[in-house]
Structure formats: structure tokens, C-alpha cells
Amino acid sequence: MKPYFIKTSSLLKFIFRNWVWSYASKKNVLYLTFDDGPTPEITEWTLNELAKYKAKATFFCIGKNIGEHPEIFQKIIEEKHTVGNHTNNHLNGWKTKTEIYLENIEESEKYFTQYLKLKTKNLKLFRPPYGKITLSQSRKIRKKGYKIIMWDVLSADFDTTISNENCLENVIRNIQNGSIIVFHDSVKASEKLKFVLPKVLEYYSYHGFIFKSIDY
């Protein structure tokens, strides 16, 4: 497993300040995000856990997964969560030509409009898979009206080399008011997600935090 940062540094946030990393807040507010769905059972389980605490979240969906599981995608919307584009095929921007990358995002947009009849202009959130995107891609995506949503805290639930307890510690140690936290509603991350998410929801709800979705 290649190295990664659990907590995003202030310097990185400053250098790439056109991207959203977290929100300034004096209130106890957290922003849970879930990448790579919708995935049968896992996304539905996630929605059920969120509902127990009346928590709202943001789901960055892969276009082809929406096409395969539109009913789960519809449930995300019905339960008042927000959704964002995560490309059609989970592309790594650093390894993909800009033209192809943008075409893949547009392909993903078709699933949003097909299954939810949303206008493209309403799809304002984008998260690059792996957090890897070039400056050229970023400029062109933002010209399309997207907000590029990154993160403040990476749970690393995708990392099969760490324990469930390590994953939980990644979150608990690094959360601050206004933090954007990354989880994955995917098969690969499901074991850690099912261990960590209930504990995070219970702990922070008990301490007076509100879980909000990211606005368009």
C-alpha cells in the first residue's frame, strides 16, 4: 500500500485553495462522505446507519454503478442526502489524458440525468478518485460549474493492511469542527466501514455534533 496522509495539512489546503477541504465552523458540525457506490447491501446498510442518527451525508457515486443500481441511487436522494460525480469508471486523473477524463465525467453525468432527471447544472459536486487530479483537469471541471470536494480526514477504510481499530483511530484523532471525512461504500472497505461508522455516529452524536451533507 502506497503512503497517504490521514490528516490534510494546512499548507496543502492553502496551495490548492480552489478545492474544498473542510469548512470553517465554530459549531459542532461534521461532513461524512462516501465514495465509490452505490453498492448493493453496503450502501443500503450505510443509509440505515445514518438514519438511526438522522445524519445527512454526501455520496460521490461512480456513474457505471448508478447505471447498475439505480434503485439504490434513488434511495440516497429520497433520504435527503446529496450526491456528487466520481467519474464513470473511477479514473486516476494523473494517469488519464484531460480530454478522456472530462469525457468520462460527462458520461457519468448521463446516469444522473437518466435516473433522476436532474439537470446537469444541478450536479455541482465532484471528487476525483484517489484524490488525483491535474491542474488542467481541475480548471476545466470548475469551469463546468463543479465544486471540487476533497477532504480533511481520510479514514483509510480501503487499506487492507490496517486494523479496524486503526481505522477508527484515524477518524477520532483527527476530526475537528467542519471536517470533511472520507469513507467508502464499497466491498473492499465494507469490513472497516461496518466497524467504524456506527461508533463515529454514536460518539459524536452523544457529544452534540450534527452530521450535514455538502451543499451544491
* 184 annotated active-site: yes
Residue 207 catalytic? no
Q: What pLDDT band is residue 62 in, cutting at 50, 70 and 90?
A: very high
Confidence of residue 115 (pLDDT cuts 50, 70, 90): confident
pTM for the full model?
A: 0.96
* CA dist., res. 187 & res. 109, Å (int): 23
Any domain includes 198: yes
pLDDT score at 2: 66
Label each residue of 11-50 as H, E or C.
HHHHHCCCCECECCCCCCEEEEEEECCCCCCHHHHHHHHH
Spot the catalytic one: 81, 159, 184, 185: 184
Looking at the chain, the whole-number percentage of residues with pLDDT higher than 90 is 90
Q: Strand (E) positions, 100-194?
A: 125-126, 147-148, 153-154, 180-184
Which range (76-80, 100-104, 193-197, 201-205) has the least confidence? 76-80
Range of the domain at 103: 10-211
Q: Indicate the pLDDT class of residue 189, thresholds 50, 70 and 90.
A: very high
Tens of pLDDT, residues 193-210: 999 999 999 999 999 999
Catalytic residue among 35, 157, 159, 185: 35
In-domain check, residue 2: no
CATH classification at residue 204: 3.20.20.370
Provide the residue count of the chain. 216
Q: Is residue 17 part of a domain?
A: yes
**Residue 114, pLDDT above cutoff 90:** no
Please classify residue 13 by burial: count the beta carbons closer than 10 Å to its beta carbon, then call 0-12 exposed, 13-18 middle and 19+ buried: middle
| pLDDT-derived band at 122, boundaries 50, 70, 90 | low
Reading the block at residue 32, the C-alpha cell is 461524512
Q: Which of 188, 143, 151 is nearest to 170 (CA)?
A: 151
Longest dimension (CA), the chain: 47
Burial class from Cβ neighbours inside 10 Å (0-12, 13-18, 19+) for residue 48 reads exposed
Average pLDDT over residues 126-143: 97
Domains contained in the chain, number? 1
